[in-house]
Amino acid sequence: MEHLKKEVSITLMTHDHLDEVAALERVCFSDPWSRNMLAEELDNAMSAYLVALDKEDGSVVGYAGLYVVADEGYITNVAVRPESRRGGVAGALLDVLINFAEGNALAFLTLEVRASNYAAIALYGSRGFRGVGRRTNYYEHPREDAIIMTKVFGDDTDDGNEAGDGGTAGGDL
């Protein structure tokens, strides 16, 4: 894991974080989720959302969401304040989601990313996600394709090419 340039603590998102996360959505995305949409996700038993809090002032500098169906994990959003990017915040959030997936024996994690978001594609690639498809015109404002990236988790029948921890990773979000 890279050294964090921004000192953060990763914790579960609560209703207390909604205003800051909704503001972050508006800064980071051309089609942001509303505060109400985020609140609904917090009440969804199949979803888990994390926030990265600045250790100096407690403000939200990033967040990530995960939707779990059976043994499948769908990363819904990963966002970091522009002034905090390239500081390891997104990687720290992603690492927690990966540890959760491994600890809970999920078969895979998957997500969509703008085809032009090279920094995010590189980050996901560094964590073992691979491009598995494309969704044409998935995004609007501007219209753009999405790259589908997936990280598959092996089971005990792996061929030995992937290092694993035998499922001993902590799995609570």
pLDDT for 122 equals 96
Among the listed residues 22, 54, 61, 60, the one whose alpha carbon sits nearest the alpha carbon of residue 41: 22
83 is catalytic: no
53 near 59, Cβ under 8 Å? yes
Q: H or E stretch including 19?
A: helix 18-28
pLDDT for 173 equals 61
pLDDT for 155 equals 57
Q: Which residue has the tokens 């500098």?
A: 61
Phi-psi region of 121 (alpha: psi -120 to 50; beta: other; left: phi over 0): alpha
Tokens of 16: 């207390």
DSSP 41: H
The 10s digit of each residue's pLDDT in 56-77 is 999 999 999 999 999 999 999 9
If you average pLDDT over residues 142-171, what whole number do you get? 65
Calpha distance 63→58 (Å, rounded): 13
38-42, 130-134, 140-144, 164-168: least confident range: 164-168
Tell me the average pLDDT of the chain. Answer: 88
If you average pLDDT over residues 4-25, what whole number do you get? 93
pLDDT higher than threshold 70 for residue 2 = no
Q: Which of 112, 118, 144, 162 is catalytic?
A: 112
Q: Which of 49, 63, 124, 139 is catalytic?
A: 124
- Confidence band, pLDDT 50/70/90 cuts, at residue 160: very low
The 10s digit of each residue's pLDDT in 72-126 is 999 999 999 999 999 999 999 999 999 999 999 999 999 999 999 999 999 999 9
pLDDT higher than threshold 70 for residue 168 = no
49 is catalytic: no
Tokens of 58: 């407690």
pLDDT higher than threshold 80 for residue 171 = no
- Confidence band, pLDDT 50/70/90 cuts, at residue 141: confident
Task: Evaluate the omega torsion of the peptide bond into residue 32 and state whether it is cis, within 30 degrees of 0.
Answer: no
CA 160-134-159 angle, 5° bins:
5
Residue 81's identity, in one-letter code, is R
